[in-house]
Amino acid sequence: MSNVKIDGYQLFCLIVLFLFGTTIFLDIGSGAKQDAWILTLISPFTGLILFTIYYQLHKRFPTLPLTEYVRKIWGKFLGSIISYFYIIYFIYIASRVLRDIEEILINSAYYKTSITVVGICMMFTLIYTVNFGFEVFARVACICFLLIGLTLLMINIMYIITDLIHIENLKPILADGWKPIVKAIPLNVTVPYGELITFSMIFPYMNKQTKILKTGMMAVLFAGTYFTLNILLLICVLGTDVLSRSSFPALKAASFIDIARFIQRLDSFVIILVVFLGFIKITMFFFCAVIGMNTLFKIKPSALSNYSVGGIILLTSIMISPSYQSHLDEGLKIVPYLFHIPLQIAIPLLLLITVIIKEKIKKINT
């Protein structure tokens, strides 16, 4: 990827679509019940802090991805171990997102199809995309951004036209105080904003490095605003009881749309959006894992490494848990504290502190 270059608009589209991922279709934030919109309104500001940390690290090593500059900061031995964990992390999260898509497709449209078959079809498409390179993927993401944006806008307008909006579902505000909101913040910060750590692997390929911070912050605020509007609509349409009990609330809400008994079953459009957005998110993790593996082990980019990483992601998605409920429980109760917080927050923050201390020592010595 040494010759790959992406511009500011492509970066904006990639970040927004990556943040959307499967987040806008799952029940993340519903733990705060009718106050979930307050949670999604607060979380982006923490996301901005995290993105700034990632950018400040990149600013000091503009030509290196995360898995390379961690070795510059903490030395080859410890840095190589941390880099290896990041590669595993990218593969693991890609497999979790793939499992989400597999489950959504099986539970909604392909209930008689094996999860293995769905996973294999998805993975061949993913490998095909990765083989074309990141620059091609970035251009396709820009087209997808427009199509997905128009489709989401259309579905949201349909909620209003069909009179499905019930404002009373938002009341009472802060009925249980701030405790449920504060309790849900770690999950809603790490997913999806903390996952922007993946872009630390992509920043070196920006053609205008000065635009990274501004573009990234605009994308985070844009996504955060949409998350807030989206959860407001879902609460108004479904109510907190249905929202908390539904694994895929967006599918449930879209199934209620019925205009003159002619425009119906818009949940099919939601399924298509799930596949597109999930595909983009998995591909980002896929690229980062391949870049990290190639740089850490000094491997030349090849189709073999792409197929190897793709095969591992596929197998992990199938073996990750025996059922979708256990998969959700693991993602909500274990993964944020065991993987997300250390790798998205703790290590980048320690890296930045180490760099700053080294810079100050160097100034004193000179």
Cα Rg of the chain (Å, integer): 21
Domain ranges of the chain: 8-365
What pLDDT sits at residue 22? 77
Model pLDDT for residues 35-85, shown as the tens digit of each residue:
888 888 898 999 999 999 999 999 999 999 999 999 999 999 999 999 999
The top-level CATH class assigned to 8-365 is mainly alpha
Token pair, residue 224, equals 């955060």
Indicate the pTM of the whole model: 0.93
DSSP codes of every residue in 223-287: HHHHHHHHHHHHHHHHHHHHHHH-SSHHHHHHTT--BTTTB--THHHHHHHHHHHHHHHHHHHHH
Q: Tokens 């079953």 sit at which residue? A: 265
Give the C-alpha separation, 335 to 320, whole Å. Answer: 12
Give the C-alpha separation, 181 to 30, whole Å. Answer: 10
Model pLDDT for residues 308-343, shown as the tens digit of each residue:
999 999 999 999 988 888 888 888 788 988 999 999
What pLDDT sits at residue 27? 62
Over residues 186-208, mean pLDDT: 90
Region at 166 (left for phi over 0; alpha for psi -120 to 50; beta for the rest): beta
